[in-house]
Amino acid sequence: MKRNNDWKLTLTSTPMILIYVMAVFCIIAAIRQPAFLSPATLVNLCRAGIFTMCFAICEMVVIISGGIDVSFPAIGCVAMYVPMYMYNNGMGVDNVFFFFGVAMLAGLIFGVLNGFLVSYLKLPPLIATLATSSVASGGLIMLLGTREFTTLPPSLEALYSINLLTFVDPNTGFNYPLTILILVPIILCLVMAYVMRYTMLGRGLYAIGGDSNAARIAGFNVRKLQFIAYIFCGVMASATAMIYTTLMHSSTTTALMGEEMIIIAACVVGGCRLTGGHGGVGGTVLGVLLITLVENNLNMLGIPTSWQTFAVGLVLLLGAVLSSVQAKRISKMGKI
């Protein structure tokens, strides 16, 4: 009886529903556009998912700890713009480590600011990070202007041209290279999956998200853990922004603005609850896959480009409703 219940629960759990939705999506897309079923789609999907995946993991950590961070796009913009600006104004060396180092330092500064506002001053996370966002974005443009850097320094160009594999479409002869940087989100996911499950740091983040008062009584350093979450988010988002610059050959002051919407949605669709304490790397990966699939392949379903914003919004809304219905179902289920 109990086992039977669990089995049903697994089949209707959030990750399984995501898998069903993706399967249905792929089948419809494949029927409408047989070209969908080609390795090229997969390679494109991987490329498109790199940033989303990294950002989503950052956001996930903050959401699990019971907060939210809407400032990472602005922080990312600072992080991708400042090193390029320095390089182009003759203030830096042409070295991959330099670029990433400067980017992550910028991320650290704003991460500390977020952590300070939320954990020490106890401001509501949404408003605190919105403020950080405008400080970062406004300050950046005010001080450094709005230029667009479209040529990469040689060292980044070299990084860009390392490919893991290249798929050549036999019909069209197009090349679909898969960059080495795809390893970053993969490694990040594996490491974070380990950290969240097998270290006291990770369990502490879950604990403060679940009940910060109980965590305090148990002896967790709640402030420190919140700080770590926001700093991690800032630093990792900055590194991701640098990857963005490398892959897109572009660094502007506003390139990432507005990304937060999709990322938060990917986390929520993947089972993170905005109240904190729930969610995990596995679910987030599924959420990101779904969002990336929908964002990049809506035209395969015959939806015109101009309606894609709306369609993505609809998917997000359904995801939010789904996760709320699931939470309600669990709370209504007989207590044991």
- The residues in 37-96 that bind another protein, with binding defined as CB under 8 A, are 68
Residue (41 or 65) nearer to another protein, CB: 65
Q: Could you tell me the CA-to-CA distances from 138 to 7, 76, 188, 230, 324 in Å, in that order? A: 52, 13, 30, 20, 36
- The residues with which 168 forms a beta bridge, in sequence order, are 175
Q: Is 218 near another protein (CB under 8 A)?
A: yes
31 binds another protein (CB under 8 A): no
Tell the smallest beta-carbon distance from residue 238 to another protein (Å): 18
Residues 250-279 that bind another protein (CB under 8 A): 261, 264-265, 268, 274-275, 277-278
Q: Per CB under 8 A, which region of 23-31, 34-42, 97-105, 193-201 contacts another protein?
A: 193-201
- Hey, which residues does 8 pair with through a beta bridge? none
Residue whose structure tokens are 């993991």: 57
Determine if 302 is a binding residue for another protein (CB under 8 A).
no
The count of residues interacting with another protein (CB under 8 A) is 71
Span 110-139, contacts to another protein by CB under 8 A: 117, 121-124, 126-128, 130-139
Closest CA to 74 of 25, 27, 117, 129: 129
331 binds another protein (CB under 8 A): yes
The two tokens of residue 315 are 């998917």
- Taking alpha carbons only, the member of 36, 18, 31, 30 closest to residue 290 is 18
With CB under 8 A as the contact rule, the residue among 197, 282, 299, 302 that binds another protein is 197
Stretch that binds another protein, among 77-85, 182-190, 213-221, 230-238 (CB under 8 A): 213-221
Residue 130: Cβ-neighbour burial (10 angstroms; 0-12, 13-18, 19+): middle
328 binds another protein, rule: CB under 8 A: yes
Task: Supply the minimum distance, in Å, between the C-beta of residue 293 and another protein.
Answer: 17
Going from the C-alpha of 251 to that of each of 45, 110, 184, 245, 258, the distances in angstroms are 22, 19, 20, 5, 16
147 vs 249 by CB, closer to another protein: 147
- How far is the C-alpha of 200 from the C-alpha of 220, rounded, in Å? 10
Q: How far is the CB of 175 from another protein (least distance, A)?
A: 30
